[in-house]
Structure 1
Amino acid sequence: MSSTPLRVGVVGVGPMGSDHAQRLATRTAGVRLVAVADPDVPRAEALAERLDEHPAGRSAGRSARRSTERPTVRVVADALELVASPDVDAVVLASPGVVHEEQVLACLEHGKPVLCEKPLTMDEASSLRIVEAEAALGRRLVTVGFMRRFDPEYAQVEAALRSGAHGRLLLLHNTHRNRSVPNADFRSEMIVRDSLVHEVDASRFLFGEEITEVTVLSPTPTSHAGLGVVDPQVAIFRMSGGGLVTNEVFVNSQVGYEVRFEAVTERGSLTAGLVATGVLTTHATGGGGTWGGVVPDDYRTRFARAYDVEVQAWADAVRAGRPIGPSGWDGYAATAVSTAGMASLATGRPVPVVLAERPALHGAGN
């Protein structure tokens, strides 16, 4: 592994991009955050200033200013300018999905590893173009930010399943709930594309197989959903090996951010995510008793450890010159399944998932 720090640029400084920028600047080893890009330049400048004032940033900032006479974190408006910058070795994309294709392809053109937050792109055709461009390049440079693969509980269950001690995985039951989502401009399809997509990748990861069919069912919607929004939704995946996955996605649960699953095998079951944070407690009340734990409000709290492990593992892999984590193919497959899911949402009927031929560059595993 190279001893030289990896110089990283972050594209997009919304909640996820800002979180990644802080992570890279303050608690990712072997990395130096050198630039952020966002059309909202004042917001990007405010983020850069906050990072420069952080104790870790101040230390790096003094050294940087002695040699460059500029802030530690450079701010640009144009994402493509950041990607092309000679002082950026690798890129984290946390920009809107509609611009991912152009930005990921630019990373490939410049030979720069990229960690792209989901979705890889907004449709399977554009995701496939990225897969094909990467295959033509002959190098794996794209990693997609399905952070659940790096969550300690998900990783523990996946390792247990691969050990064979539990026999075959037969059923997987996923639950994914948010406290609420903004009602303005929110559509039912976004539950499939932006939320269920995590269950898509988690199911492929735990089964080690592709999804061949999707059915999305629509129960009576909650009164907290926006007009015309179908929430919650229940999705059923059929895996290539015959296994089944049930998924509940409920984005206006009014409780908090809950993600858990139960994997049912030939010799028992494995359950993860029952208590995301805090300690499970009991509490006596006048009418009997209650039990429970702390339910986080935000995905960045529930998966904080997963994000830290993911970014550190990606940075280490880039410095070592080897690929790691969900690939461009995984991003394409997830987009294809989501597209089929949106079609099923409209009809309530099963929709097959048909994937292109998998390039040799991406091997045979998930």
Structure 2
Amino acid sequence: MALRIGMIGPGGMGQAHLDRIRTVIAGGEIAGVSDIAADNVATVSEKYGVTGFASSEELIASPEVDAIMICSHGPGHEPDVIAAIEAGKPVFCEKPLTPTADAALRIMEAEQKAGRRLVTVGFMRRFDRSYREMKALLDSGEVGETLIVHNRHRNPTVPAHYTWDMAINDTAIHEIDTMRWLLEEEIVSVRVDKPKKTSHRFEHLQDPLMVIMQSESGVWIDDEVFVNNQHSYDIQCEAVAELGTIRLSDQHAIERTGTLGRFNTLTMDHNQRFYGAFVTEVQEWITAAARGEHTGSTTWDGYAAACVCDAGVRALETDGPVAVEMIDKPALYS
């Protein structure tokens, strides 16, 4: 029997997941959708032939829904995630789990009360082929200890509603989680350096910026966040270790050779660049949820990323490093 999934917030990302579940992912079906925008519920429910619910509360409580997928705006995640936990239903929540660490703490408290891991946070880079190969090589010890990691997160452009703090808690959060996962240790401090601003930014933005982080063991991590580069969605990562360097390999869609030379067709958004990662991530979640198991990142990972983001947002307005403040990891996530 297919896992019956209720989706909250079927916007652009949500509908991309809907399409993948219907076409390339096995074991799941969309049982219903809800959204704060009633017209979107009507449009999506008609388009996909699924039930439209008047509220997320009704969707979560429905006996026709086995599991919850949350793709709504980050500030609205907390009450729906907690309601799903209290209903005993597995939750896939797109990043960020919550915009702040305090909100993530409340979700952890609800999950600990439930006594089992029910929440998977949508950090899809953990499922990307190149990142997984990089991690496997670092974990093998073949190149010795990791010393430095360079990251680049470049977007063609962002919309006018992209606020100054989103460079940290909506963009750099991807590298923040990936570095915690890749190195298997927490980030303890964050500094933000501010290069010359691009003329293509909105006036309220500092773009580009450099996020400088340090891990528990002293690994030095940099992340160039440039969200108005005007040409491509360009994700780069290079781990510098004692005995070698490992760099991501799949930065373009195809390579073309002809009379005019050799060209790369660059990806333009996250759905192009990480299509395979999204498919693997959702497939693994559906398979695990159907078995009553947990897979992928946890509420702790969502909380830890939020703690680093909180420090990063403070660092935007502070000279020098800002310490990351976290509670001790609860036993449920050890």
The interval holding the TM-score normalised by the smaller chain is: over 0.9
Counting only pairs closer than 5 Å after superposition, residues 1-366 of structure 1 correspond to structure 2 as 4-52=1-49, 73-183=50-160, 185-279=161-255, 281=257, 284=260, 292-363=263-334
Offset, 1:322: 1.7
Deviations 1:265-285 (A, max 9, x none): 11111110453311165874x
Aligned to 1:188, what secondary structure does the other structure show? coil
Aligned to 1:322, what secondary structure does the other structure show? coil
- Code of the residue aligned with 1:355 in structure 2: it is M
Whether the 8 Å CA contact 1:9–1:92 is kept in 2: the answer is: yes
**Following the alignment from structure 1 to structure 2, what is the Cα–Cα distance between the partners of residues 81 and 259?**
39
Deviations 1:303-362 (A, max 9, x none): 111000000000111112221111000000000100100000111320000211111110
Offset, 1:187: 2.2
**Following the alignment from structure 2 to structure 1, what is the Cα–Cα distance between the partners of residues 75 and 183?**
30
Whether the 8 Å CA contact 1:260–1:274 is kept in 2: the answer is: no
Deviations 1:5-30 (A, max 9, x none): 11111111111111112222232211
Deviations 1:166-189 (A, max 9, x none): 211111111101100112x33221
Deviations 1:236-261 (A, max 9, x none): 11000111111001000101111111
**Following the alignment from structure 1 to structure 2, what is the Cα–Cα distance between the partners of residues 275 and 209?**
26
Deviations 1:201-244 (A, max 9, x none): 01101101100000011111110111131000101110001111
**Following the alignment from structure 1 to structure 2, what is the Cα–Cα distance between the partners of residues 228 and 292?**
35
Aligned to 1:13, what secondary structure does the other structure show? coil
- Code of the residue aligned with 2:229 in structure 1: it is S
TM-score (normalizing by structure 1): 0.88
- Code of the residue aligned with 1:198 in structure 2: it is H
Query: 4+ residue runs of structure 1 moved beyond 4 angstroms?
Result: 280-284
Structure 2: stretches of 5+ with no match in the other structure: none
Structure 1: stretches of 5+ with no match in the other structure: 53-72, 285-289
Aligned to 1:347, what secondary structure does the other structure show? coil
Q: 1:164 to 1:128 in 2, by over 3 A?
A: same
Offset, 1:164: 1.4
Whether the 8 Å CA contact 1:41–1:75 is kept in 2: the answer is: no
- Code of the residue aligned with 2:332 in structure 1: it is L
Whether the 8 Å CA contact 1:218–1:348 is kept in 2: the answer is: no
**Following the alignment from structure 2 to structure 1, what is the Cα–Cα distance between the partners of residues 132 and 283?**
15
Deviations 1:110-139 (A, max 9, x none): 001001001111111111111122112110
Residue identity over aligned pairs, in percent, reads: 41
Offset, 1:40: 2.2
Give the greater-gyration-radius structure (CA).
1
**Following the alignment from structure 1 to structure 2, what is the Cα–Cα distance between the partners of residues 282 and 263?**
33
**Following the alignment from structure 1 to structure 2, what is the Cα–Cα distance between the partners of residues 112 and 34?**
14
- Code of the residue aligned with 2:298 in structure 1: it is S
Aligned to 1:311, what secondary structure does the other structure show? helix
Deviations 1:56-76 (A, max 9, x none): xxxxxxxxxxxxxxxxx1111
Aligned to 1:174, what secondary structure does the other structure show? strand
**Following the alignment from structure 1 to structure 2, what is the Cα–Cα distance between the partners of residues 291 and 344?**
42
Whether the 8 Å CA contact 2:86–2:110 is kept in 1: the answer is: no
CA RMSD of aligned residues (A): 1.5
Offset, 1:98: 1.1
**Following the alignment from structure 1 to structure 2, what is the Cα–Cα distance between the partners of residues 5 and 139?**
22
